[in-house]
Structure 1
Amino acid sequence: MGKHDHHEHHGESLAEAAQQNLEAAGEKWTETRAAIFEALAGFSRPASAYDIAELVSAARGKRVAPNSVYRILDLFVAKNLAMRVESANAYIANSHPGCEHDCMFLVCDSCGEATHIDDDALSSQVRGVAQQEGFNSIRPVIEVRGVCQKCN
């Protein structure tokens, strides 16, 4: 297994891929969901529900409640359209919707950017250790905090 490449979507292509994956999962791609996904995908760093609510509210000219944004972000995470950076209580759009991997991030303490990495060998090793300890329904979340190359 190990590291591998897959097609990363950007911009309109990313929104289309997200819509296709959400609809394939039996969910509707509503105007609000589209606006929240577009806002999330526009951030270069992990975004909080409040960041997204503020941006979508300003764009629409009417308030969107953070609680509504949280519910939609939770759906996006459940359907693999977004990933949650646990230590920052923030989210990033999955640039390859439909491709499921354990969430592993390199999080910069200086600029706040989070780089998602896929390393199936590492995550399967973590899963194996957890299973040996009797854990079920394992969802590894691995976050490495430090300072990125740009901020060094």
Structure 2
Amino acid sequence: MPQHDHQLHEGESLKSAARSRLETKGEQWTGMREAVFEALAAFDRPASAYDIAESVSKTQDRRVAANSVYRILDLFVGANLARRVESSNAYVANQHPDCLHDCIFLICDTCGQTTHIDDDRLSGGIRDAAHDTGFAATRPVIEVRGTCSDCQDG
């Protein structure tokens, strides 16, 4: 399977890469954006704007509206800091924000765990099929629902 050659970030490295990417796009890394990104990155599954708003509200000891979080998440998706899992209207932090590619998500229907994979053959095939019908696919998102190996073993 063709793979992208990129560095996966986590923890402080992920936050630093996200900040750098956002600033490269001409945006500011504000305290609220940092709080939203930290909350998003802390989830071990896709998180909704409401999940993130609740988490940020707890850490900041004040109510944060989901609408504010949605605006920040839209900015993050546009800057490649986060990916949207369409079928569950939830988001995951992009562990390699400097690498632009199509999204392929494997989503466990039992535990909700979502794995992001890269396969240029698959996403390229989708783009080719769309092109053959006269359609320009600007952002293919492929979601495969099923059962992860942990849930299969359990």
TM-score strictly above 0.5: yes
Contact 2:130–2:137 (CA<8 Å) still a contact in 1? no
Contact 2:81–2:94 (CA<8 Å) still a contact in 1? yes
Q: 1:60-99: per-residue Cα shift (whole Å, max 9, x none)?
A: 0111100000010011000000000001110000000110
AA in 2 matched with 1:8: L
TM-score relative to the length of structure 2: 0.96
Q: How does 1:1-152 map to 2 (within 5 A)?
A: 2-152=2-152
**Count of residue pairs the alignment pairs up:** 152
Q: Report the CA distance between 1:138 and its aligned residue.
A: 2.4
> 1-side partners of 2:137 and 2:75: how far apart?
18
Please, what is the CA RMSD of the aligned residues? Answer: 1.1
> 1-side partners of 2:100 and 2:115: how far apart?
16
**Over 4 Å off, 4+ runs:** none
Most deviating of 105-114 and 127-136 = 127-136
Most deviating of 48-57 and 133-142 = 133-142
Point out where structure 1 has 5 or more consecutive residues left out of the alignment.
none
Equivalent position SS for 1:34: helix
TM-score relative to the length of structure 1: 0.97
Equivalent position SS for 1:115: strand
Contact 1:130–1:138 (CA<8 Å) still a contact in 2? no
AA in 1 matched with 2:89: N
> 2-side partners of 1:137 and 1:31: how far apart?
35
> What percentage of aligned pairs have identical amino acids?
64
AA in 1 matched with 2:94: N
> 2-side partners of 1:53 and 1:73: how far apart?
11
Point out where structure 2 has 5 or more consecutive residues left out of the alignment.
none
Q: 1:29-85: per-residue Cα shift (whole Å, max 9, x none)?
A: 000000000000000000000000000001101111000000100110000000000
